[in-house]
Amino acid sequence: MKRVAVEKSLSNIKSYLKEQGFTVENLEKNKDNLKSFDAVVVSGQNSNFLGMHDTSTKGTVIYARGLTPEDVHRQLENTLK
């Protein structure tokens, strides 16, 4: 099962991804452990998410601004194959 960290403000995306079978956790609660996630979904409103300039993750970062939950799901499916 794929682990995804989702920004708190994106509750609709978080709910949808859970329904699709992803393990979804709050980004803010896991900011020190991002490398353990397959992907991170952020709102895109601030490119310096969490106030960290050197945040690194092995996974994909998806900027959800202007995307529907279905769009985010599709991007995850395409990048996490």
Rg value, the chain, Cα: 11
Q: What whole-number distance in Å separates Cα of residue 60 and Cα of residue 65?
A: 15
Residue 46: per-residue pLDDT: 60
- Distance between CA 61 and CA 5 in Å, rounded? 10
Mean pLDDT, to the nearest integer, of 36-65? 74
Q: What is the pLDDT of residues 53-71, one digit of tens each?
A: 445 567 789 999 999 999 9
pTM: predicted TM-score of the whole model, two decimal places? 0.84
What fold is seen in the domain 3-79? Rossmann fold (3.40.50)
Q: Residues 15-36: pLDDT tens digits?
A: 999 999 999 999 989 888 888 9
- In the chain, where the domains are located: 3-79
AA letter at 75 = Q
